[in-house]
Amino acid sequence: MQTKGRSRHFIYTDWILIENQFDPEQLHSKETVFTIGNGYLGSRGSFEEGYPHALPATFIHGVYDDVPVVYTELVNCPDWLPLIVIVNGDRFRLDRGEILSYDRQLDLRQGLLIRSVRWRSPSGNTIDISFERFASLADPHVLALRCHLTPIDFEGLIEVQASINGYPENQGLNHWEELDQGKTNQGIWLQRRTRNSRIELGMAVKVTILGTEASLQINTAPGYPTLSTTFFAKAQQTVTVEKLVTVFTSREIEAPVPAAQEKLAHLPDYATLLKANEQAWNEVWQQSDILIEGDSTATFAVRYNLFQLLIAAPQDDDRVSIPAKTLSGFGYRGHIFWDTEIFMQPLFLFTQPAIARNLLSYRWHTLPGARRKAAHYGYRGAMFAWESADTGDEVTPRWAIGSDFYGEDVRIWCRDREIHINADIPYAVWNYWQATGDDDWMQKCGAEIILDAALFWGSRVEFNSERDRYEIPGVIGADEYHELVHNNAFTNRMAQWHLEKAIAVYDWLVDKFPEQATELEQKLKLTPEERSHWQDIVAKILFFYDPSTGLIEQFEGFFQLEDINLADYEPRDRSMQPILGIDKTNKSQVLKQPDVLMLLYLMRESADFPYNEKALQTNWDYYAPRTDITYGSSLGPAVQAILASDLGKSTVAYEQFMRALMVDLEDNRGNTNDGIHGASAGGIWQAVIFGFGGIQLTENGPVANPHLPPGWTRLKFRLHWRGKWHDFDLHQGKVAQDITRQLEFLQLSLSPDPPNSHSQASEHQTSPPASPAPSSSPLPITPYPQRGPHLPHNPNIQGFIFDLDGVLTDTAELHYLAWQKLADEEGIPFNREANEALRGVSRRASLMLILGNRAYSEAQIEEMMERKNRYYVELIQNMTSHDLLSGAIALLDELRQAGIKIGIGSASKNARPVIERLGIMNKVDAIADGYSVQEPKPAPDLFLYAAKQLGIEPAQSVVVEDAAAGVEAALAAGMWAVGLGPVERVGAAHIVLPSLEGLKWADLREQLSNISRRKQ
């Protein structure tokens, strides 16, 4: 299963992102995409050896500094990556010499970034260089890097320099003061302090050389301490350099440098650290993973987006939160928006609730800053910053400076007017309380957030005596294209909702925690009159809603604005605001992102006003066509995917889901270089769980009402709700089932005398696996007849469906080697004879055959499948067109010239990369792989799926197979079957041949016609 991203040179496997070609034009966006981290820090995917104009950055949570007058930003910390390799006097860098091969992989399962390069130096020396690095999830203050160096065709001197770069920049600005640096018995260290916030940082490094005799020298050049070594390298001999790094700041410890030195002195070796990191990641994925089958792109990309949020989530620090661009780029300068509470937090709330609490505690710690903002504007209570940093004070820049030197700067009004965040944060607090039942945190922290922010609304609303209504004038709603509006529906209803909940929390606090209630009354100056004022606002706030249709006016006067047909502006590559101009956009019915629809989404779960199916349909029909969903805001597509799914618009839902899903992997907005779109990543989780999974939260726990996208055969995930885990294993059009049925098919296909009746098949039912999915009992077996439906006497062949392994190429040996390696590691007997039984069989079913009666948990089974797949993917990297079997290309070309459609029907989840490596992707019209259907061969599903993709009938299809299970599947599908191999294996096929060599379409067509005539 691998799918290539649009001109990004990416291949996706279940867990691994592979880049197989270096493109300097995409340097900065790829640095973002290959970001790694551990919840304490994030490091962009820059090259260890450097590259011209690269943007390397390591961001540590909470390390902010001020640029006087202009802004506050998250600081780029000293760079721990530099590792320079000099080969016989030539410095290795990708802009020098010649790149003979290139492969970079991000392994999501363990947060490991790997890059392998075969490089020929300007002097003609060829060397294999591989790097791998990780930020330890087991110990957030540990970073590790390993480099393997293998000369290919020379002997000579190699020099390695491992450094700390003490001069990092935030796009031209260095926030650090030089304090000190030095050496110890373990290596080198660096001490720095931010210029204005006075945060101190300590970093220490040690290096180990393996595979040769080499001594280390220390160079303490100011700001760039370095450990270096020079050794004589022999051809084909690998030398390994391990660089271990520790880092602390004064935010978490008083003396960062001694702490870094002490930890470094007691670190185990790289391999031990890597193992601990892998174990820590296993625990996280056991709670947060989402398994999708039937959609190879979504399988990886969903995990990728989850990974980027998980590495940015503070594990043990409740004084920081996740910035809009996570810890992956300079965009928005590391500021925290409503993105975190509304879009990102649900993932953590339902899979990592301790992290969700940390994120909300950050808002509690920053209440003093929110109070200062409210006081500045003349309001009461807490007015949360639109953009927040370490203190909670407003850090949104007042002005945006354009690229035109003579152009006018643009005023950023969000800091003054986009106040709906003051209800968005309490909304997240309330949902955390409902999902966890964490009364202790609620009475200590959550209640204060909700009540203090409610005081703001009490002073911000204005009473219109003529209307007898409360109004909120002069705001920016969730749709940011309109910068000064009155009575925005989203803002007014969220304020109303907030005050409703504030009253409920206040009453709960008085009843359950009277002492805390009294303390907050005194601290916040809460009075009975204030509570009464809140009730009056709830009853009388202005909201433009037509009860007969359910249509909501986005803000007062919106319907009087000029209507814009977005289709008239297609095709385009930018948002509508720069096309129309700020002034015209303000006067038009065009939206940057969902506003009314966003409100309906937030009210959806509890079915609060104004949410109902009629209102959703009416407002979707009005507002969706007016929303700049392609280039407006990245926050919109995931929300629209959920609501479209609710409305049964499966095509639209999937379209918008994919737009959100691939925003960074495909850089479809052209700004991935600024950092990961964190809100979109969080919205993806919600789209999968609440949209496609149809999860609804009830008093008895979450329940699923799934509407999976077409092609998705399985969706599996876990949710944590009020102290308990709930496991969901959803299938297309049916309840979840275990793998028993797959094993039954497998047993039947391998049986020397396969039964044909249902009663016979029932006798062959197997015992359930050690950890079955939650199915009450094995499902009945549907027998597949040996010869399938009756085939026509005069065949009208329109398409060929080729199995891959053993038909077009021989990867059976690679599969065997991968399975053999796994079996050896697990201590399970396995040989080539046993491997023969795995022909044409799915990965899971193959593993179950190998395991036999040995008991393993589902987590262990999935890990082993992924491990085998990793070994196999490594082996296929060297495949080329030379690995095509004799006769394959000639037949494919002849069929295409005859107008015959060509499909691939392979049980392998790696079919796509194999096809790409073989160079035949342009000869194939459809691919059905291990992710396309639920049931493996000998079920006919895979071939029926391929025929549907080709747009032909089963009887118009010829399947070419080399396995008994595959032949049986073709016959069950009602297709013509050509078997390659010995008669004892594929003798059930209509035609049996030794191979494709010398095979002509004309000869084959004649044989099929003869078979038809004989049937007559």
Cβ partners under 8 Å of residue 459, min gap 6:
374, 379, 380, 381
Hey, which bits of 777-816 come out as E strands?
A: 799-802
What token pair was written down for 143?
């970073």
Which residues fall within 8 angstroms of residue 557, CB to CB, at 6 or more apart? 485, 486
Q: How far apart, in Å, are the Cα atoms of 441 and each of 49, 217, 383, 863?
A: 47, 53, 21, 36
195 touches 65 (CB < 8 A): yes
Residue that has been written with the tokens 């991000």 in this structure: 106
Helix, strand, coil percentages, rounded to 5, for the chain: 40, 20, 40
Burial class (CB in 10 A: 0-12, 13-18, 19+), 407: exposed
Strand partners, 99: 119
- Paired with 249 in beta bridges are 201
Measured distance CA(1014)–CA(316) in Å, rounded: 75
* Tokens linked to 89: 């006097």
DSSP for 198-215, written as a single string: --EEEEEEEEEEESS---
Query: Catalytic annotation on 480?
Result: yes
Which entry of 31, 200, 278, 480 is annotated as an active-site residue?
480
Main-chain phi, psi angles of 18, to 5 degrees? -120, 130
Of the CA atoms within 13 Å of residue 691, those in its CB half-sphere come to 27
Taking the CA atoms of residue 353, residue 359, residue 361 and residue 365 in that order, the dihedral angle to the nearest 10 degrees is 170
Strand pairing class (58-67; 71-76): antiparallel
Burial class (CB in 10 A: 0-12, 13-18, 19+), 223: middle
d(CA 777, CA 58): 51
| Distance in angstroms (rounded) separating the CA atoms of residues 475 and 386 | 12
Decide: residue 655, CB within 10 A, 0-12 exposed, 13-18 middle, 19+ buried: middle
Q: What is the DSSP letter of 177?
A: E
Instruction: Report the C-alpha gap between 336 and 387 in whole angstroms.
Output: 5
Report how far residue 871's alpha carbon sits from residue 889's, in angstroms, rounded to the nearest whole number. 27
State the Cα–Cα distance between residues 199 and 462, nearest whole angstrom. 43
Residues 6+ apart with CB under 8 A from 77: 41, 57, 58, 59, 60, 63, 168, 201, 247
DSSP 8-state class, residue 780: P
Q: 943: which residues sit within 8 A by CB, 6+ positions away?
A: 801, 905, 928, 954, 957, 959, 969, 970, 973, 975
Supply the DSSP string of 47-67, one letter for each residue.
-TT--TT----EEEEEEEEEE
How far is 324 from 340, CA to CA, in rounded Å? 7
Q: What is the CA radius of gyration of the chain?
A: 31
Instruction: Note whether 64 and 74 are within 8 A (CB).
Output: yes
Kindly state the DSSP code that residue 316 receives in the 8-state scheme.
S
Pairwise CA distance, residues 383 & 394, whole Å: 9
User: What residues act catalytically?
Assistant: 480
